[in-house]
Structure 1
Amino acid sequence: MAKPASLKVVEVCRVAPTPETTTSDAASETSLPLTFFDLLWVRFPPVERLFFYEFPHPPSSFFDSLLPKLKNSLSRTLHHFLPLAGNVIWPPHSSKPFIHYVSGDGVSLTIAESDADFNHLSGSDFSEAEESRRLVPHLVVSDEKAAVMSLQITLFPNSGFSVGIATHHATMDGKSSTLFMKSWAYVCSNLEESSSLSSIPANLKPSFDRSVMIDPSVIADRFANFWLKQGGPDNRSLISWDLNKTDQGELIRGTFELLPSNIQKLKKSAESKLNKKVHLSTFAVTCAHVWNCLVKAEQTKREKVLFIFSVDCRSRLDPPIPSSYFGNCIGAAKAEAETKNMLGDDGFMFALEAIIEALKRLENEAILSVAETWISDMETFGLTETYRTFSTAGSPRFEVYSNDFGWGRPKKVEIVSIDKTGAFALSESRNGDGGIEIGLVLKKSQMEDFSALFVKGLSALSSCS
């Protein structure tokens, strides 16, 4: 049996925002309220992402050159993302939790060194789920406060390094955390060209303006009251729910890809079977294929299956809010199907039609009119024995493979936290060819079954080319 890879922690430090040299100092104290979009996620597990970068150089190059640049640029970037250096708190005098930053706060940064096989972890082969988990940082959370973000940089000597990020879900969605990573990468890759903290493109500057988030029905209060009653009364604990109690040692992490040709065949096959003219998006056919394969691989016993997916609401609000708005601004759409239909030969079409109907409802409903039901839906679908719920994380629109810190694009990006949530992850293909990358964490037998179904479903479309 191969010797387990070792991980050595070299340093744990706190990186504070760099004060602006042209003004007196960074803010000494500031607070940022959580909106109803944020409060939905108060006790959900942290969102964890991992970026792998090739760096075939000796450790001395990493510690003498690369690491100082990453630290320097991180401090400079935090100047624009001040709340990320703070904590979520829920003091007795406040009806809702909020983000609080005081001078001296900073982001926890762990520096580690691993003798694991970099090429194996950054490739597409199956790996044990816990191998990636060791590369993401621990987000410190207690009853009284929770860190907004933590980071870990791990060196694989003479091969590469990884950047792991853990974020509190109540403080930002995937689009916002990606905005931070892109900003950090930009600052790092341009350190030599500019010494000014303000030299960051307008499209990478976050907007923390909460006045754009209109809440006429006071949904935020209802969400906060819901959390107060969980394990309450008046339970202000910020400890996260444990959504997946499966032993990490039983889980396998896998990466799959739909090529552009696969996507076109899925669309063409679906168009030939639909009785109506419908625009078929890449997202819809991708999720339908994955959802169908998951149901069959698991041989779900529950009567119905539910697929919940997130939708960016920034452009859907009335009036729309800036694309650079930082926080959570995602709504939930629900696709529902009978399990027996999904297990049949036409499972893909039943899945696709359910997703099409969910997207249609989304277009016809005002976000605020359905937001009030999100908490009750979470209780209903999470506790009932009728439904088996599936979900997705990430988005191909985030363009995570564009994050270049100055040493090249990532070799691989994965959402590690799907081992806690059970979701499947989506991103654009690392090849930049218009394909879609899918990340999964399943038990070994289920992963093998899913893999066979995934390939078989695509092979059956060969006649549609």
Structure 2
Amino acid sequence: MNSSSSVKIVSKCSLKPKTIPEESKQPYYLSPWDYALLSVHYIQKGLLFHKPLYSIYTLLEKLRESLAATLVHFYPLVGRLSPPKAEKPKSYSVFVDCNNSPGAGFIYATSDLCVADIAGPTHVPLFVHSFFDHHRAVNHDGHTMSLLSVQVTELQDGIFLGVSMNHTMGDGTSFWNFFNAWSEIFQAQESNKTESLCLKNPPVLNRYIPQGYGPLYSLPYSHPDEFIRRYKSPLLKERIFCFSSETTRVLKGKVNQMCGTTSISSLQSLTAFIWRCITRARRLPLEQETSCRLAADNRGRMYPPLPRDYFGNCISALRTAAKAGELLENDLGWAALKLHQVVAEQTSEKVSQMIDHWLKSPFMYQTDRLFEPMSVMMGSSPRFNKYGCEFGMGKALTLRSGYAHKFDGKVSAYPGREGGGSIDLEVCLAPEFMKALESDEDFMSLVSI
């Protein structure tokens, strides 16, 4: 089955918070981490469920009602980026305006597709992109587009819940904290609990702004054309590879034994494994450099640390590199230790240096310039509670993502559905490299399905 022709938009509406917080009437200023993302895509992640026993209209009403209650806590998501002002030459200001905005987007769509059409194929079908709003939008488009948009797609036998969130509003930690909070409020309302507006872990909305700097940054640009670069994804094959809890445990133990340590994590071990396997699949010249990046949450690394529920961006893509020859000639432990060292070296001093550098010379990340060709980027995290979002429909059957941030060598780590330390990797590769990876017996011997 093919393309978005199988997905029909039935209705669209905008949602405001159930009650309007007083603080939402003030401008909401962003942090350096947030501004740096103005030129990259929205975050697009979604969950596939079996269809509930009650009617779709009952489900839609419950989703809208619980979302409006959740937005009380996450009120910046109902805003828009302020109309840009070039106050003087080379001075461009941006903040979130929660007053002059229709609200968050809520879309109901239908499809003649089935759960098996999404979860069944070996490679993720392209039509999955049509389950998300804001296709190909960059964050700067939040001047005219909603900062949050939810698309509920009714399938023949299932529901796909696709969420698109402007990346200047938060990183993966923030995104999944929001998703979990929405599910928590939905479940509480299902149980008729009077405290359904309360959250176990409410978001901390105060953005990190370094001491001595005012809340409004004037970016050194006269026009968005100077920093917006729209990224177009190449032709890719995308596949979810599942690694059981037993496999990740054994791999971690093997790597630590090789290195004479106990400190290398499951994710670092698995990242080293996929980096070597993808490099082998690409058949790179032995002298060619290949890099690997690992997304790292800086909240706990800062001094003083930011709250765990800090809502915003607080990540770095930590880089290590090696020549293809030395990566493949050395054992797996050698690669894992390189990754472990770069994570261990991410101290509060390093984070502060990065922020100071940005404040002295602001810049915008651009996907095609940030990641070198023939690199591997491990994004997302198996620690996010993705399968905890149930919405009265039971545990999700699987996760899928939209068009955003896909390139040759992009890998995203998700918790495995079975839990217990299992990890699923969403791997995007050029077709010839995917074919070679799938023919790699060393790699496929660790894949459970």
Cα offset, 1:53, TM superposition: 0.9
Over the aligned positions, Cα root-mean-square deviation in angstroms equals 3.4
Alpha-carbon deviation of 1:83?
A: 0.7
Matched with 2:69 is: 76
What is residue 39 of structure 1 aligned with on the other side? 35
Residue 367 of structure 1 deviates from its aligned partner by 1.4
Task: For residue 247 of structure 2, give the secondary structure of its aligned residue in structure 1.
Answer: helix
1:119 counterpart = 2:122: no
Structure-2 change in CA distance of 1:194 and 1:31 (3 Å): farther
The one-letter code matched in structure 1 to 2:229 is W
Tell me what 2:197 maps to.
199
Q: Which amino acid aligns with 1:446?
A: F
CA distance, structure 1, for counterparts of residue 19 and residue 85 of structure 2: 28
Identify if the C-alpha distance between structure 1 residues 361 and 191 changes in structure 2 by more than 3 Å, giving closer, same or farther.
Answer: same
Q: Which residue of 2 aligns with 1:179?
A: 177
- In the alignment, structure 1 residue 242 sits paired with structure 2 residue 230: yes
Stretches of structure 1 lacking an aligned partner (at least 5 in a row): 229-233
Q: Which residue of 1 aligns with 2:85?
A: 91
Cα 1:345/1:28, change in 2 over 3 Å:
closer
2-structure distance, mates of 1:88, 1:272: 50
CA distance in 1, matches of 2:356, 2:168: 17
Do the aligned partners of residues 391 and 117 (structure 1) sit closer, same or farther apart at CA in structure 2, a change above 3 Å counting? Answer: same
Give how far 1:385 is off.
11
Say if 2:38 and 2:168, in contact at 8 Å, map to a contact too. yes
Q: Say whether residues 1:437 and 2:424 are aligned partners.
A: yes
1:178–1:400: 8 Å Cα contact kept in structure 2? Answer: yes
Specify which of 291, 311, 317 is matched with residue 326 of structure 1.
Answer: 311
SS at match of 2:69: helix
Query: 1:299 corresponds to which residue?
Result: 283
Deviations 1:19-60 (A, max 9, x none): 26xxxx766733211111212211111111011111165xxx
Alpha-carbon distance in structure 2 between the residues aligned to 1:138 and 1:385:
23
Q: What does residue 456 of structure 1 align with?
A: 442
Q: Alpha carbons of 1:26 and 1:218: their partners in 2 closer, same or farther (altered >3 Å)? A: closer
TM-score (norm 1): 0.83
Q: Separation in 1 of the partners of 2:371 and 2:292? A: 15
Cα deviation 1:265-316 (Å, max 9, x = unaligned): 3234324433x43512111101111122222223345821122222111122
Within 5 A, what are the aligned runs for 1:62-461?
A: 62-89=55-82, 90-93=84-87, 95-102=92-99, 105-123=102-120, 125-128=122-125, 130-138=126-134, 142=141, 144-157=143-156, 159-194=157-192, 199-203=197-201, 205-210=202-207, 213-215=209-211, 224-225=219-220, 228=221, 234-236=222-224, 241-246=229-234, 250-274=235-259, 276-300=260-284, 303-342=288-327, 344-346=328-330, 348-363=332-347, 365-372=349-356, 383=369, 388-417=374-403, 420-422=406-408, 423-453=410-440, 455-457=441-443, 459=445
User: Cα–Cα, structure 1 residues 334 and 239, in superposed 2: closer, same or farther, change >3 Å?
Assistant: closer
Shift of 1:191: 1.4
Residues 146 and 236 of structure 1, relative CA distance in 2, 3 Å threshold: farther
Change in CA separation of 1:373 and 1:333 when aligned onto 2, cut-off 3 Å = farther
TM-superposed CA distance for 1:73, in Å, is 0.9
Check the 8 A contact 1:27/1:103 in 2, yes or no: no
8 Å Cα contact 2:69/2:197 also seen in 1:
no
Change (3 A) 1:451 1:238: farther
Offset at residue 432 of structure 1 (A): 1.4
Q: Distance in 1 between matches of 2:106 and 2:123?
A: 28
CA separation of 1:169 and 1:215: change in aligned 2, threshold 3 A: farther
Per-residue CA shift, 1:191-231, capped at 9, x if unaligned?
1444757632241x111123x54355899959x33xx2xxx
Once residues 44 and 385 of structure 1 are traced to their aligned partners in structure 2, the CA distance between those partners, rounded to angstroms, is 13
Q: Which amino acid aligns with 2:130?
A: R
Letter in 2 for 1:80: H
Instruction: Return the letter of the residue paired with 1:369.
Output: Q
Q: Is the 8 A contact 2:247 2:446 kept in 1?
A: no
> Which shows bigger deviation, 115-124 or 193-202?
193-202
Deviation at 1:460, TM superposition (A): 8.7
Q: TM-score, normalised by structure 2?
A: 0.85
Whether the 8 Å contact between 1:50 and 1:165 is mirrored in structure 2 is yes
Deviations 1:400-441 (A, max 9, x none): 111111111111113334553552111111111321110122
Tell me, in whole angstroms, the C-alpha distance in 2 between the residues paired with 1:106 and 1:327: 19
CA distance in 2, matches of 1:36, 1:3: 40
* Percent pairwise identity: 20
Question: Could you list the runs of 5+ residues in structure 2 that have no partner in the other structure?
Answer: none
